[in-house]
A and B are shown apart, each in its own frame.
Chain A
């Protein structure tokens, strides 16, 4: 993302909007500036901010007068008054940033809007995770910290070492150059993204071991990791996973429950 310097009036609204804190007001230029290395191309500023189309010269003059008298500037906080935020053409490898950061861009490898697959959300019709299996969603950079693929690779290689199976249709898996070793393409390792989900599947009994492995690796990365773990319930709607997690001391207060109301309707 970039800011059009001819239009920007340095109101600062976009500074707090940026989930990565990648925008600041350049004091010399008196314009908002995007740190291109930190920007993850999530489009939160461009799409989320409402837009006025005021004359930049007029707005700057008003702001200058208000500043002279030290009036408090109290604008609507979610508006770009001069429509100064401008997307830029993204080429490889930077385009990867948007694929993993802008939720309204479907990922080419999955066709799904978002950073992972449908996981167990459609398990009632896809049977992706079966009884006796555990599905893991290990999300890097969430919430609001961001991650680089170099960090993600540290974990995927360690997980590969213990023989986990990476979900083949997951976007991160599609960017691996060697799935058996969890190695990610070298040309994207320094790209920063808002978050990326690594999905793996193991036998249910292996879940504590995998979780322990991830726990032990948490200091290896310079970002946060959000962990979700899933399984299929039995015919009565019971699952052994909840009790297993409680035994291991994990907070598992919140989650998703697939109600099993989906069915095949396409002939």
Chain B
């Protein structure tokens, strides 16, 4: 699945600006094992990846079969309207790894991502590791950590009935769940609710993060986008 490949930014606008601003707060590193090739001791490899990630303060970690650090609950009660816990829980992601999946960590800054990659290189887990990010930053990370890139995959953006897509701000948020679980209508609603002062940007982001089924949604970038859209200071 290409769940992190097509994250929208103005570089992919139908008519992009001459010099779109670089995205400096959205870096994903993920790991994937292959059956009968490197899936021995699989659970421990994935958990080691996630534990190493936590040392570098990711904004989210996730397991593609269970979700990220903020998840929905099926046992809510009416008091939740006033006492709801929005805190993320990375330990549930680590404990929940049960077998074949993809595990991922999202970072909101380059140095943290690079430090994590450096540590992964030393750890030698033996599973496939990928960076999903602006290609120049991924290249720079490889050069600075002494890694020769093995393969690359470029996103070329969207074609066809692009008139069916929502506005750019909404798209920038909703495409952070490549599986499409964060609907454009919901992202738009959350932006509007922040504008109306019905919710804070932090709360709006948590509501959306619960729908991401693999944990690659970047709450920090989403919050920055919402603040910009609502004219709020960061």
Contact = CB atoms under 8 A, between A and B. Distances in A.
For the residues of B in contact with A, the DSSP-based class is loop
Interface residues of A, number: 96
A120 B153 contact: yes
Contact of B76 (A51, A142, A245, A260): A51
A19 B152 CA distance: 30
Interface string A242-267: 10010000111111111111111110
B135 interface: yes
Given A114-B179, A254-B135, A228 B150 contact: no
A160 interface: no
Interface in A35-58: 42, 44, 47-54
Interface string B59-85: 000001110000011111110110010
B167 to A, nearest CB: 12
Contact of B210 (A42, A78, A111, A119): A78
A171 to B, nearest CB: 10
Given A42-B181, A44-B181, A259 B142 contact: yes
A21 interface: yes
Interface string B1-15: 111111111011000
Interface in A218-249: 218-219, 221-233, 235-239, 241-242, 245
A205 to B, nearest CB: 16
Contacts, number: 347
Given A103-B213, A143-B180, A227-B159, A253 B134 contact: yes
A139 B72 contact: no
Contact of B152 (A230, A250, A264): A230
Interface stretch (B35-43, B50-58, B89-97, B222-230): B35-43
B85 to A, nearest CB: 11
Contacts of A99: none
B132 interface: yes
30 contacts: A18-B183, A42-B180, A44-B183, A44-B211, A50-B80, A77-B190, A104-B65, A143-B158, A144-B165, A144-B184, A194-B179, A211-B156, A214-B159, A223-B161, A223-B164, A232-B151, A235-B148, A245-B154, A252-B154, A254-B132, A257-B139, A257-B149, A259-B120, A259-B147, A260-B149, A261-B125, A261-B128, A262-B37, A266-B36, A266-B37
